[in-house]
């Protein structure tokens, strides 16, 4: 390698053909759009939790779920707050040319919310289940449950 080549930055790899050119504002616009849709579907109270805490809580009989964007769903006991399981699930869009493309954060939460509301058993069956603590830090989860209680 010449001395010049050694000190110059490596040439940027060209974008793979057919993929959209990177647009730093696109994700921001997409997230804004997704947040509006999320708000209109889940209602103002649930949306407030997402807006202020970064996740949505869904309650069922005796247990609940915490829905984080692009992180596993967490189930917990409503009465004791005990963490029960993590459910790793994603929504890959096979029609997308970019294999790394993913839904905006708020759309990912919305997809989880809809799937839980519409077919809870199906979503759980499609997920990879783990004990709490695999991808989420249990300390953070307990803190989030405290923050949620304070918000309410």
Considering just the CA atoms, what is the radius of gyration of the chain in Å? Answer: 19
Binding segment (CB under 8 A) for another protein, from list 7-15, 76-84, 86-94, 143-151: 86-94
3-state secondary structure of 99: coil
Pairing state between β 63-67 and 128-130:
unpaired
Among 95, 121, 150, 152, binds another protein (CB under 8 A): 95
Burial class (CB in 10 A: 0-12, 13-18, 19+), 69: buried
Q: Is 69 in the site for another protein (CB under 8 A)?
A: no
Q: Is 52 in the site for another protein (CB under 8 A)?
A: no
State the nearest-atom distance from the C-beta of 2 to another protein, in Å: 39
State the nearest-atom distance from the C-beta of 26 to another protein, in Å: 6
Q: Is 43 in the site for another protein (CB under 8 A)?
A: yes
State the nearest-atom distance from the C-beta of 51 to another protein, in Å: 16
Q: Residues for the chain: how many in total?
A: 152
State the nearest-atom distance from the C-beta of 70 to another protein, in Å: 9
Among 15, 77, 92, 146, binds another protein (CB under 8 A): 92
Burial class (CB in 10 A: 0-12, 13-18, 19+), 57: buried
Among 77, 82, 98, 146, binds another protein (CB under 8 A): 98
> What's the CA gap between 95 and 60, in Å, rounded?
34
């Amino acid at each position: 390698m010449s001395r010049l080549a050694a000190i110059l930055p490596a040439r940027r790899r060209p974008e793979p053909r057919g993929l959209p050119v990177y647009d730093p504002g696109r994700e921001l616009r997409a997230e804004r759009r997704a947040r509006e849709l999320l708000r209109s579907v889940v209602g103002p109270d649930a949306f407030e939790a997402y807006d202020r805490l970064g996740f949505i809580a869904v309650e069922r009989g005796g247990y609940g779920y915490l829905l984080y964007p692009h992180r596993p769903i967490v189930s917990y006991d409503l009465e004791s707050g005990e963490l029960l399981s993590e459910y790793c699930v994603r929504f890959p869009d096979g029609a997308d040319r970019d294999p790394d493309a993913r839904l905006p954060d708020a759309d990912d939460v919305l997809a989880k919310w809809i799937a839980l509301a519409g077919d809870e058993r199906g979503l759980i069956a499609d997920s990879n289940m783990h004990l709490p603590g695999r991808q989420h830090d249990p300390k953070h989860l307990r803190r989030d449950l405290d923050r949620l209680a304070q918000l309410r």
